[in-house]
Amino acid sequence: MVGATGVAIASSPLAALTSCAPKQQEGCDKACCMHGNGQLNISFQEGTAPRETLNEKFDYMEALGVTGFEPGGWDLVDRVNEIQQALNGRNIKVSAICAGFDGFILAEDPKVKAQFDSTMREIIAAAGELGSTGVIMVPAFNGQTPCKPHTRETREFLCEQMHELGEYALKHNTTVILEPLNRDEAHYLRQVADAAAICRDSKSAGVKCMGDFWHMKEETSDFAAFLAAGPEYLQHVHIASRGHRRMPSEDGVLDNYVDGFRALKMMGYDKYVSFECGCDGDREILVPAAVELIRKQWEEA
Ligand code: MG
């Protein structure tokens, strides 16, 4: 990495990173050359595809080349067989499970914490049966009270509790995935790097984190946020339009994911980018348009 490349790095860091992202250069230990083999695997939540039944939704997703399915967790225990049967023989896997538990992990009330502990573990077990990459969770939404205070002791408590959950998840061949939200929804955990630091300090390989492009308005850089988590901790990604959380493309020029995608490609990210968004128009038009936009920006990144 000398000569012309060195000049390029000095004058335009991002251009230089992009130029060496696609191929791994032997002997180069720069972040841009770490992996470069990322893969765009698109996933839909259950309400995304404009169809009625699970089988119709999966037919629609297969036709679009969508290979991940992210169901909610609240009734998952009773749906394991239904989902397994509908996925049988298809090129679609369960990407992640979106929450669905009762209570919350930072509850002051022991009964509410116990609700979380039992229902979260039921969902983790079901997620394992379905081969999910993990179960998404938020430590506490703003509206969930009484909540443990935002102190050093609470963080230590969270790390201890996450360790136990992570180890339980590993026994079921899955993980738990911390999702940072924006301050309007959850002040406690707002940035991807902070979530990754909690993963590290939880000391369990079963504790992971994710980024949601909608909530990532908290970040100063999509690129830095994903790269800070890195391949060791980043387990899932949510995507939506960036103005009002609808289908990507519905907010026009705001819907730019290239910087984030560039980091994912450099990291060799091979998990899922999953739609978590509404739709203000005709899904028959806007869902395929969103998939096309994401694929185009992934290529550009
Ligand atoms: Mg999300």
Q: What token pair was written down for 119?
A: 């229902």
Residue 109 located in a structural domain:
yes
- Ligand 1 centre to CA of 111 (Å) is 26
- Ligand 1 centre to CA of 154 (Å) is 23
- Ligand 1 centre to CA of 182 (Å) is 10
Total residue length of the chain: 301
Residue 127 located in a structural domain:
yes
Residues spanned by the domain of 247: 33-300
What is the C-alpha separation between 120 and 235, in angstroms, rounded? 18
- Whether a cis peptide bond, with omega within 30° of 0, leads into 146 is yes
3-state class of 247 per DSSP? Answer: coil
The string over 181-199, giving b where at least 16 C-beta atoms fall within 10 Å of a residue's C-beta and e elsewhere, is bbeeebebbbbbbbbbbbb
- Ligand 1 centre to CA of 281 (Å) is 21
Which residue type is seen at 162?
M
Q: What is the mean pLDDT of residues 216-233?
A: 98
- Ligand 1 centre to CA of 296 (Å) is 22
**DSSP one-letter code for 41:** E
Nearest CA to 97 out of 112, 77, 114, 81 is that of 77
Residue 5 located in a structural domain:
no
- Ligand 1 centre to CA of 240 (Å) is 9
3-state class of 59 per DSSP? Answer: helix
Residue 10 located in a structural domain:
no
Residue 7 located in a structural domain:
no
Domain count of the fold of the chain: 1
Q: Which has more confidence, 25 or 128? A: 128
Nearest CA to 38 out of 277, 266, 296 is that of 266
Note the pLDDT of residue 131. Answer: 98
- Ligand 1 centre to CA of 276 (Å) is 6
Residue 217 located in a structural domain:
yes
What is the C-alpha separation between 199 and 206, in angstroms, rounded? 9
- Ligand 1 centre to CA of 215 (Å) is 7
- Ligand 1 centre to CA of 275 (Å) is 9
Note the pLDDT of residue 37. Answer: 82
- Ligand 1 centre to CA of 39 (Å) is 20
* Tens of pLDDT, residues 261-296: 999 999 999 999 999 999 999 999 999 999 999 999
What is the C-alpha separation between 287 and 108, in angstroms, rounded? 41
Which residue type is seen at 30?
K
* Tens of pLDDT, residues 60-96: 999 999 999 999 999 999 999 999 999 999 999 999 9
- pLDDT of 4 strictly over 80: no
Residue 282 located in a structural domain:
yes
* Tens of pLDDT, residues 15-47: 333 333 344 444 444 444 455 689 999 999 999
Residue 163 located in a structural domain:
yes
CATH number of the domain where residue 233 is located: 3.20.20.150
- Ligand 1 centre to CA of 12 (Å) is 33
Q: What token pair was written down for 277?
A: 């968004």
- Ligand 1 centre to CA of 13 (Å) is 30
- Ligand 1 centre to CA of 23 (Å) is 31
Q: What token pair was written down for 261?
A: 């995608």
- pLDDT of 120 strictly over 70: yes
The string over 249-286, giving b where at least 16 C-beta atoms fall within 10 Å of a residue's C-beta and e elsewhere, is bbbeeebbbebbbbbbbbbebebbbbbbbebeeebeeb
